[in-house]
Amino acid sequence: MNKRFMNRMIAIVFLILPLWANSQVLLKGNVKTNAAPQAWANVILTDQEGKVVTGALTKEDGTFEIRIKGGAYKIKVSFLGFTDWGKDILLEKDTDLGTILLKEKAGNLNEVVIVARKKLIAYKTDRLVFNVENSITAIGGSAVSAISAAPGVMVQNNAISILGKGASRVMIDGRIIELSGQDLINYLSSIAASDILNIEIITNPPAKYEAAGDGGLININLKKGARNSWKNATTLSYDQSAYNFFTLRNNFFYNKNKVRFSFNAGGRSGYIKTREDLTTYYPGGPWELKSEGKQKEDNISGAIAFDYDVSDNTTIGVQYAGNYDNPDRVDHTSIKIRNANNIIDSLLTNTGVNDLNTGNHTYNAHMISKLDTLGRKISFDLDYFTYDSKTDNRFVAETFLANMKYLNTNQAARNVSTQDIGNVSVKVDMEHPLKFLNLSYGIKVSSISSKGNVQYYNTITGTPVLDPGRSNRFEYKENNQAIYVNGTKDINNTISLQLGLRLENTGTQGYSRTLGKTNTNNYLKLFPTLYFSYKKNENNTFLFNYGRRINRPGFRNLNPFRSYINSNSYSEGNPFLQPSFNDNFDFTHIYKEKLRTNVFFNVTTNGFGVVFTSNPITNTQIISRQNYFKEYYYGIGENYATDITPWWQSQNSLYLLGSKSVFVNHINATPKNNIQLYLSTNNTFSLSKSTKLQVDYFYSSPLKRGLYELAAQSGLNIGLKQSLLKNNLQLSLLLNDIFNTAYLRDYTSVVNGIKQVYGQNNSSRFVRLSLIYNLGNNKINVKKRNFGNDDERKRTE
């Protein structure tokens, strides 16, 4: 039934497109300065009386495209520090202006320092663009630190989320990373911030992107070399907190005639301090857990990319990226068991050694072909991704009396687990501009398999004995087929409309060999998107968008096996867990490209999550996964960006967020709701032509949402960058979380009348010293091209 329906839909998308021309024509060109492509140049079209009709900014490769009704116009192209270019044009058909060369202004600029640069933050119809290269606080760090510096994005408790949206999926150059939790953090930690061009924050993704993920998408665009140039950049950084680690990375780009090649490799070595605490208030008295660990930061990674222009219209290429991580950790945990009078009755200690090795490999082959001069373009992508991990966790738990007199060893064990994930996907995208509208459509087929194996050995006698009751083998398979169609139409010079539909068919199968259980799930769903833009005048633009999303459970959440964390707590998955669905509504007003007001309303149905429960009789903690809530989430946000002076650039955000949760499944708890305040400010000061200072601060008020509440958080970061040797050498210093207040604390839930309070701090306060040395043609503009698979690599938790 589903296959027949999918075949019909594919036929509709690719064969039935009866949309014909009207009077609009295409105007395009390529702007250059100093013989290099110029991004972010202004292109303005006016009528014969000088009234602005429309305009555009040039892309990273210097090109621009404008669709407009035929007629007589004046065009002006401008960029700071260069003489304006202009002419009268008569548009009767599609017109290519070719190369437009802007000449540098003559004159003495010694008395005034004018530095032309991209804005730290730029806004587009469906996304916010954070230009990482302009963020001093991200220099010398990894992709994790770059994402953390992006406005409205939180990285906490091994989760990445967009403010007001929840957990977000992450893409690299338009391709989904099919990892999550600690696995995702480890992978992103292997990517240097200096490799990143910008980060796109997409709160409501268009139909082109996979519908999975209720928290929007974060797309990391990596740097590419400009044509006819080569460039090499070496980065060395040193991080100091309680412990320290070094990072060394080298990036090479070569771009000549028809060949584009890049290679990067790097590594990290050292340690960080981890800390966790958990207090469980049992009726007989609280149990206070405190854990401190020393985690190794050993990592090696590399990537290689090769593209070749077969002709002026067709490009083929291959890519590979690999990463090996060895975050071994030694933990020392103590649990103070108090009686009803809050007096220590006994003490449990746990010493654990966790050997962890992970590796992943990503392979891509692609082709992009321009079919004609009207803008039609087709792209093919074949992707293969593998991920494997092996954990060897050994621990001994001992009991002491209040006076620290040894009582017994209540548990000693060795827990060996492995996980192997494989994903293959094929994707075809078509850009098909018509005179009536810009049309795009495509198809995607992917397959994911995951195999997990847990072996639990009881070592209390000194000889390892396999415990079958605590060992498990779990296999998971998922197949997805998707098609989409998206149309963009400029109704007139002030109103534009974008409509999209994405159809996804999903089939899953989970099999526990140990329990002998198989669970399957099949569903076919339609996901619409709508974007509306109204430019009232030069100062006021109004945007509205709607989108429907799906959030599928991670592989581990579906595993029904009970995994023991220690002698009095365990975690178990739920094979009957169902996906949740989100309807997202956003309204935005932009004033003078400086003030951005956003109002949003999101509805989550069949929501699922982690539920912490405790058994007061056995003093056992249970971590389970359930579909248990429906949530209404709403908020209003203000973002203000301005150059206060020629040397002071400021980006500021203020949000008021609220929620109302309803528990639709039986949970012995009361929903928590409140209004949350979030504010941030990012300020860059140009102390001189070669010296910059950045000061960032954020504050988040106490949060109550659904089952949990969270204490207030804040963070102050100060960064300084000095450029030397004609900008070939950059030195930077970062003081991160100066007051040590940006970590997770007082994460509280009350279930079955038992209160639990959790906290975590993985060295949020640190000092980083970085050095970057560049060789080659450093005046080149960085060229970005997104290609390929939009989908696979995230849900391994």
What pLDDT, on a 0 to 100 scale, did the predictor assign at position 151? 73
- Comparing 49-63, 333-347, 416-430, the range with the smallest average pLDDT is 49-63
Q: Please state which CATH number belongs to domain 229-776.
A: 2.40.170.20
- Comparing 17-21, 185-189, 206-210, 406-410, the range with the smallest average pLDDT is 17-21
What pLDDT, on a 0 to 100 scale, did the predictor assign at position 8? 52
Q: Is the pLDDT of residue 21 over 80?
A: no
Across all residues in the chain, what is the average pLDDT? 84
Q: Which of the given ranges, 100-109, 195-204, 278-287, has the highest pLDDT on average?
A: 278-287
Percent of the chain with pLDDT over 90: 43
* pLDDT confidence band for 526 (50 / 70 / 90): very high
The one-character DSSP state at 580 is: E
What pLDDT, on a 0 to 100 scale, did the predictor assign at position 112? 33
What pLDDT, on a 0 to 100 scale, did the predictor assign at position 229? 77
Strands (E), 616-647: 620-645
What pLDDT, on a 0 to 100 scale, did the predictor assign at position 734? 93
What pLDDT, on a 0 to 100 scale, did the predictor assign at position 412? 92
The predicted model gives 493-515 an average pLDDT of 90
Q: Is the pLDDT of residue 338 over 60?
A: yes
Q: Which of the given ranges, 46-50, 178-182, 478-482, has the highest pLDDT on average?
A: 478-482
What pLDDT, on a 0 to 100 scale, did the predictor assign at position 423? 92
Q: Is the pLDDT of residue 15 over 70?
A: no
The predicted model gives 223-244 an average pLDDT of 84
Return the CATH fold of 2-102: Immunoglobulin-like (2.60.40)
What pLDDT, on a 0 to 100 scale, did the predictor assign at position 789? 38
Q: How many CB atoms lie within 10 A of CB 541?
A: 20
**Which is the CATH superfamily of the domain at 121-222?**
TonB-dependent receptor, plug domain (2.170.130.10)
The predicted-structure confidence for 601-654, as pLDDT tens digits, reads as follows 999 999 998 898 888 888 888 889 999 999 999 999 998 988 899 899 898 999
The predicted-structure confidence for 710-730, as pLDDT tens digits, reads as follows 999 999 999 999 999 988 898
| Separation of alpha carbons 99 and 34, rounded Å | 12
What pLDDT, on a 0 to 100 scale, did the predictor assign at position 182? 67
Q: Can you give the residue ranges of every domain in the chain?
A: 2-102, 121-222, 229-776
- Comparing 114-123, 455-464, 522-531, the range with the smallest average pLDDT is 114-123
Q: Is the pLDDT of residue 786 over 70?
A: no
Q: Dig out the tokens for 453 from the structure.
A: 């194996």
What pLDDT, on a 0 to 100 scale, did the predictor assign at position 129? 84
What pLDDT, on a 0 to 100 scale, did the predictor assign at position 782? 37
Q: Is the pLDDT of residue 4 over 80?
A: no
Q: How many CB atoms lie within 10 A of CB 283?
A: 10
Q: Dig out the tokens for 797 from the structure.
A: 């938790």
Chain centre to alpha carbon of residue 124: 17
**Inter-residue contact 770 to 686 (CB < 8 Å):** no
Specify the pTM: 0.77
Q: Regarding predicted confidence, which is higher, 755 or 17?
A: 755
* pLDDT confidence band for 460 (50 / 70 / 90): very high
Which distant-in-sequence residues (6+ apart) come within 8 Å of 696 by Cβ? 137, 149, 680, 681, 682, 683, 715, 716, 717, 718, 719
What pLDDT, on a 0 to 100 scale, did the predictor assign at position 716? 95
What pLDDT, on a 0 to 100 scale, did the predictor assign at position 727? 81
The predicted-structure confidence for 60-83, as pLDDT tens digits, reads as follows 678 888 888 888 888 999 886 678
Distances in Å between the Cα of 219 and the Cα atoms of 174, 257, 608 are 6, 29, 25
The predicted-structure confidence for 644-685, as pLDDT tens digits, reads as follows 998 998 989 999 999 999 998 888 899 999 999 999 998 989
Distances in Å between the Cα of 714 and the Cα atoms of 7, 136, 281 are 52, 19, 27
Q: Which of the given ranges, 129-143, 144-158, 497-511, has the highest pLDDT on average?
A: 497-511
Q: Is the pLDDT of residue 708 over 50?
A: yes
Q: Is the pLDDT of residue 383 over 90?
A: yes
Q: How many CB atoms lie within 10 A of CB 585?
A: 16
Percent of the chain with pLDDT over 70: 88
The predicted model gives 50-60 an average pLDDT of 77
The one-character DSSP state at 739 is: T
The predicted model gives 429-447 an average pLDDT of 91
The predicted model gives 571-588 an average pLDDT of 90
**Inter-residue contact 622 to 570 (CB < 8 Å):** yes
